[in-house]
Amino acid sequence: MQSLRSFTQLIKQQPVRHAFAAARFFSSPIDKLREPVIGLIAASVRKGSFNEKLVLAAGKVAESKGAKTKVIRLEGEHDLPIFSQDTEAAGFPEAAKKLKEAMAGCDAWIVAGPEYNGFATPLFVNSVAWASRGDPKGEMYTTFKAKTAAIISTSPGGLGGMRGLGSYKELLQNLGVTCLPLSVAVGASFKAFKEDGSLEPGQPATMLDTVITQLYEKARDEANRSVTCSIIGSIKKAQTVGEYGAIPGQKPDGTA
């Protein structure tokens, strides 16, 4: 039987995977463990956008892992003017407040965007600029705190928007976001999707599953960080079996 000491080490190495077992073992609040919420952001809002199609396909993959998803569209209620301090000084836009709330309400994001001349879309850059503002006095980048993102792209060309992936990552990393090293660029977008919106079988679909699995596990860990720490604390405080089965504090006759 695995000792509590080795079980503690196991929890430390793979915290959330074993947190449910630990919660049952120590009667910890298992009901507080939850699945992560992953925001789906398309950096293009044109009608029939391939990248919007891709982010929705990625969202289905995330849901198959157990995650909850939330579509965050960069238009409509989140339609914003071009950022400037003069515009900001005239009054922080309600759309920016809603965008910040929507993004902050997620544990992680999947961002799918085309490349414009090798860079992220102006729409995405402007939306992030607004989301990085309007924080409480003395704080910065609260919307981006403890967030993880997967960056993916697609285009009709053979490179699939690959040239722009780094710019999306750099922009978000400058705000404190952890971007997964692995990305996905899907070429020939006009024939990359099945009728149900998922990717056709092949290497891009396999890579997308790999990336989203990594994002899901990272987001799940972050979503349950405080509960996992509580469980580990309970394990550390628990009475453990000593040498040759002796329990610390127990008398030779077996009494406490």
**Structure confidence at residue 3 as a pLDDT band (50, 70, 90):** very low
pLDDT score of 7: 44
* Model pLDDT, residue 4: 42
The mean predicted confidence, pLDDT, of the chain is 87
Can you say how many angstroms the Cα of residue 96 is from the centroid of all Cα atoms in its chain? 21
Could you read off the pLDDT of 30-57 as tens digits, one per residue?
Answer: 677 899 999 999 999 999 999 999 999 9
Closest CA to 70 of 106, 94, 35: 106
State the DSSP string of the chain: ---HHHHHHHHHHSTTTTHHHHHHHTT--GGG----EEEEEES--STT-HHHHHHHHHHHHHHHHT-EEEE--SSGGG--PPP-HHHHHT---HHHHHHHHHHHT-SEEEEE---BTTB--HHHHHHHHHHTS-PPTT---GGGTT-EEEEEEE-SSTTTTHHHHHHHHHHHHTTT-EE-S--EEE--GGGSB-TTSSBPSSHHHHHHHHHHHHHHHHHHHHHTHHHHHHHHHHHHHS----GGGPPTT--TTS--
Assess whether pLDDT exceeds 70 at residue 17: no
Give the residue from 178, 192, 212, 182 showing the smallest Cα distance to 64: 212
Average pLDDT over residues 77-105: 96
